[in-house]
């Protein structure tokens, strides 16, 4: 999730919540008095405290003395946007519904995804990815499946020599 901060009269700044370290996420959670899952959910809902906390902690990387009370953006100066991975997961999920409902056409899925580019940090990437998935669905390919982890245990390696006793 990307928080876009556009100060009045300034250029937009983007802050990627996925770049937070665990210690930084803890600082955000303590500062805004929320558990980290609540902060993440708050970002999706454009909760002002969640967005402010994330941006403040990420700004502290370059301004370590910045206090939380000193960073007080206007309520309309912050919004959240989906990063490329989140957009792709959203679009892949939508196109995967076609397997469960054969009457669901690629065109209807594209129509259902019409607001995705506006919610994306990179609208052009979102549009291109939707179009790529539409073309694959029409060609019968569908989205590329996610690689699955191996389920078998790795071969055990040991430096001990085997001896045969008879």
State whether 129 and 103 are in the same domain: yes
> What residues of the chain score a pLDDT lower than 70?
141-166
State whether 70 and 88 are in the same domain: no
Domain range for 73 is 2-78
State whether 69 and 91 are in the same domain: no
State whether 6 and 64 are in the same domain: yes
State whether 72 and 102 are in the same domain: no
Does any domain span residue 158? no
Residue-level pLDDT at 141 = 60
Residue-level pLDDT at 153 = 46
State whether 69 and 123 are in the same domain: no
Taking the C-alpha atoms of residue 122 and residue 4, their distance in angstroms, rounded to an integer, is 12
Does any domain span residue 148? no
Using the 3D structure, point to which of 33, 58, 78 is the last residue of a domain.
78
Does any domain span residue 163? no
- Total tally of structural domains belonging to the chain: 2
State whether 57 and 90 are in the same domain: no
Residue-level pLDDT at 145 = 52
Residue-level pLDDT at 44 = 94
Does any domain span residue 130? yes
State whether 88 and 73 are in the same domain: no
Contacts of 166 (CB under 8 A, 6+ apart): none
Does any domain span residue 38? yes
Alpha helices, DSSP H only, in 13-165?
22-32, 36-44, 48-60, 84-100, 106-112, 116-119, 123-138
Does any domain span residue 160? no
Residue-level pLDDT at 144 = 52
Residue-level pLDDT at 64 = 96
Phi–psi pair at 42, nearest 5 degrees? -65, -35
Does any domain span residue 61? yes
Does any domain span residue 56? yes
């Amino acid at each position: 999730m990307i928080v876009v901060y556009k100060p009045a009269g300034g250029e937009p700044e983007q802050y990627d919540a996925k770049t937070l370290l665990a210690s930084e996420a803890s600082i955000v959670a303590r500062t805004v008095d929320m558990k980290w899952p609540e902060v993440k959910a708050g970002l999706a809902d454009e909760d002002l405290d969640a967005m402010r906390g994330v941006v403040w902690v990420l700004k502290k990387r370059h301004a370590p003395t910045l206090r939380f009370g000193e960073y007080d953006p206007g309520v309309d100066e912050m919004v959240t946007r989906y990063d490329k991975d989140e957009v792709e997961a959203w679009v892949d999920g939508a196109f995967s519904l076609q397997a469960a409902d054969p009457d669901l056409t690629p065109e209807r899925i594209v129509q259902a995804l019409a607001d995705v580019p506006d919610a994306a940090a990179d609208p052009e990437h979102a549009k291109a990815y939707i179009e790529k998935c539409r073309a694959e669905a029409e060609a019968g390919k569908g989205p590329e499946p996610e690689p699955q982890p191996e389920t078998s245990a790795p071969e055990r390696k040991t430096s001990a020599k085997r001896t045969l006793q008879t």
